[in-house]
């Protein structure tokens, strides 16, 4: 299977798992995430959130699809089961919300406020950018975007290494991104 087909298969599995979470649910579709990739930086503008709605984001490498699909089936399609499964992976990168750079950042946007989610120094790879918006008591609203981060040749090499079982090197030296299971900076 070619690298492009592997990446497409991974994104399809992630989209399917995300789709399980909203099957039959009346999704509000209010928040409008708009992703941007600038080299090794990812920025998502969150526009038009509902009152009280907050959004969080994760960059998921396609080779994480097997774990994600397993979590979706095991959790009956519950979005929070999927988010917890992603949080247990060291190669999933959480986007950061507002805060004081270098001191503290929230893991999500402020409730009901437009905002930005960011990740810097992201390793070159092909990712599924998952943005999940939540409203207290309402359904979760997942959004999924493909994201080629870094130089495209390096991104394909990172994707191929991950899909062949060779895990990419962790971010070193106090980078500003981290996994959902790591500490906030």
The secondary structure of residue 96, as a DSSP letter, is B
pLDDT above 90 (res 178): no
Q: What pTM value is reported for the model? A: 0.68
Confidence of residue 71 (pLDDT cuts 50, 70, 90): low
Question: What are the structural domain ranges in the chain?
Answer: 3-163
The secondary structure of residue 174, as a DSSP letter, is S
- Give me the pLDDT at residue 124, please: 92
| Domain covering 3-163 assigned CATH 2.60.40.10 in the classification | yes
Q: What is the mean pLDDT of the chain?
A: 73
Mean pLDDT, rounded, for 138-156: 87
Mean pLDDT, rounded, for 20-35: 61
User: With pLDDT > 90 as the criterion, what percentage of the chain qualifies?
Assistant: 34
Alpha-carbon distance of 143 to 124, in angstroms, equals 22
The torsion angles phi and psi of 65, rounded to 5 degrees, stand at: -60, -35
Alpha-carbon distance of 87 to 58, in angstroms, equals 9
Residue 36 CB coordination number (10 Å):
12
**How open is the CA angle 122-127-132, to the nearest 5 degrees?**
95
- Give me the pLDDT at residue 121, please: 94
């Amino acid at each position: 299977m070619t690298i492009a087909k592997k990446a497409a298969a991974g994104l399809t599995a992630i989209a399917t798992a995300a789709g399980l979470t909203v099957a039959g649910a009346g999704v509000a579709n209010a928040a409008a995430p708009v992703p941007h990739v600038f080299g090794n930086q990812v920025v998502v503008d969150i526009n038009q959130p509902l009152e009280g709605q907050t959004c969080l984001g994760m960059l998921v490498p396609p080779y994480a699809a097997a774990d994600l699909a397993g979590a979706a089936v095991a959790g009956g399609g519950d979005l929070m089961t999927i988010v917890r499964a992603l949080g247990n992976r060291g190669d999933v990168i959480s986007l950061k919300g507002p805060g004081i750079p270098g001191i503290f950042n929230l893991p999500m946007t402020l409730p009901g406020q437009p905002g930005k989610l960011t990740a810097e120094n992201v390793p070159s790879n092909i990712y599924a950018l998952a943005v999940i918006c939540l409203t207290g008591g309402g359904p979760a609203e997942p959004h999924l975007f493909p994201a080629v981060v870094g130089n495209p040749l390096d991104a394909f090499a990172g994707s191929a290494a991950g899909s062949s079982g060779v895990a990419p090197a962790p971010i070193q030296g106090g980078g500003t991104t981290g996994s959902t299971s790591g500490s906030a900076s």
